[in-house]
């Protein structure tokens, strides 16, 4: 996308209509976002989308959402603005150790199986992809867990790739600074090893330690794109709590592509509220929201 075009005066004075999205504008925006990003924008999310895009309109100096839509659709501003729209409407709910059974299974089932069957972690690094990683708690949780495994298994090596469609959220993930209340699910011993506390008592934050940050590589990636952002097949892919935002057809396409990016015998983990039933995929269920590539 081109960047940086400033709205022209006719954008700013396009309309003094009430500050909301018309049905037509919302439908047009929803169709574009789903086609290019796979994200559904049902009518029930309209107020949420309006609130987020209203902030974006103000940042551009536009007086209303009507003027913002005139800029997008009438003046070609969508070429510059599409990534900002995606960043604004993307829901980024995330936690450390979310759905913790997956991290338990990673240690007690997945890693021993892959070590025995493929040598992953021993003859070469265990390659893990956190797809739709949001602001980073999932890949950093993986880094904590796998660093503990490496401490117990001399010679164990791993590599973590993390991707998201939102450029802004990836920048936040790379900074790796979080409100202190977010670390509640992190065990105390891991907090001591892997987290650094700020000295600001009024706004307490933590930051992931440098050694852990170096274990994670972040990349911009749209899950609707064929292939992957990595130059190698992965041993484990976490793609959790993002499929619920896609249509069944988009789920099929995204998951088929993820399976193509997974080594034979590798593992795919999805959210507990997500199901692969009725999808044509080369995987076998092996645990709660956990599948093995045939």
Domain segments of the chain as ranges = 9-89, 101-177+210-293
State the Cα–Cα distance between residues 77 and 18, nearest whole angstrom. 21
In this predicted structure, the answer to whether residue 152 has a pLDDT above a threshold of 90 is yes
What average pLDDT does this structure show over 176-188? Answer: 96
In DSSP terms, which residues pair with 120 in a beta bridge?
124
Helix axes 78-89, 167-175, angle to 10 degrees: 50
pLDDT at 151: 97
SS3 of residue 115 by DSSP: helix
Top-level CATH class of 9-89?
mainly alpha
Q: Are 204 and 213 in contact (CB under 8 A)?
A: no
In this predicted structure, the answer to whether residue 55 has a pLDDT above a threshold of 60 is yes
Q: Residue 115's Cα: distance from chain center in Å?
A: 27
pLDDT at 194: 98
Provide the annotated active-site residues. 52, 164
Closest CA to 105 of 292, 244, 293: 292
Any residues with CB less than 8 A from the CB of 249 and at least 6 apart, and which? none
What average pLDDT does this structure show over 95-107? Answer: 97
pLDDT at 7: 55
pLDDT at 174: 97
> What percent of the chain shows pLDDT beyond 70?
93
Question: 44: pLDDT confidence band, cut at 50, 70 and 90?
Answer: confident
In this predicted structure, the answer to whether residue 235 has a pLDDT above a threshold of 90 is yes
In this predicted structure, the answer to whether residue 273 has a pLDDT above a threshold of 80 is yes
Question: 285: pLDDT confidence band, cut at 50, 70 and 90?
Answer: very high
The yes/no answer on whether domain 101-177+210-293 falls in CATH 3.40.640.10 is no
pTM: 0.84
């Amino acid at each position: 996308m081109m960047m940086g075009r400033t709205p022209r005066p006719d954008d700013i004075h396009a309309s003094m209509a009430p500050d909301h999205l018309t049905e037509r504008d919302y439908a047009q925006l929803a169709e574009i976002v789903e086609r290019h990003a796979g994200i559904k924008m049902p009518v029930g999310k309209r107020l949420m989308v309006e609130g987020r895009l209203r902030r974006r309109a103000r940042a551009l100096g536009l007086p209303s959402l009507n003027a913002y839509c005139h800029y997008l659709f009438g003046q070609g501003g969508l070429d510059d603005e599409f990534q900002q729209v995606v960043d604004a409407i993307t829901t980024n709910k995330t936690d450390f150790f979310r759905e913790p059974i997956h991290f338990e299974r990673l240690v007690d089932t997945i890693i021993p199986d892959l070590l025995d069957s493929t040598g992953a972690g021993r003859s070469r690094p265990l390659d893990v992809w956190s797809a739709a990683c949001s602001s980073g708690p999932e890949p950093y949780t993986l880094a904590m867990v796998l660093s503990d495994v490496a401490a117990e298994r001399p010679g164990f090596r791993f590599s973590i790739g993390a991707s998201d469609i939102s450029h802004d959220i990836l920048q936040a993930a790379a900074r790796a600074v979080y409100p202190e209340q977010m670390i509640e699910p992190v065990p105390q011993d891991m907090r001591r090893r892997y987290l650094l506390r700020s000295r600001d008592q009024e706004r307490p934050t933590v930051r992931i330690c440098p050694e852990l940050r170096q274990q994670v590589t972040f990349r911009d990636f749209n899950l609707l794109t064929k292939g992957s952002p990595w130059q190698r097949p992965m041993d484990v892919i976490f793609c959790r709590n993002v499929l619920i935002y896609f249509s069944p057809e988009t789920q099929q396409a995204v998951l088929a592509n993820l399976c193509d990016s997974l080594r034979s015998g590798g593992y795919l983990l999805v959210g507990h509220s997500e199901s692969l039933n009725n999808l044509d995929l080369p995987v076998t269920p092996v645990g709660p929201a956990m599948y093995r590539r045939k």
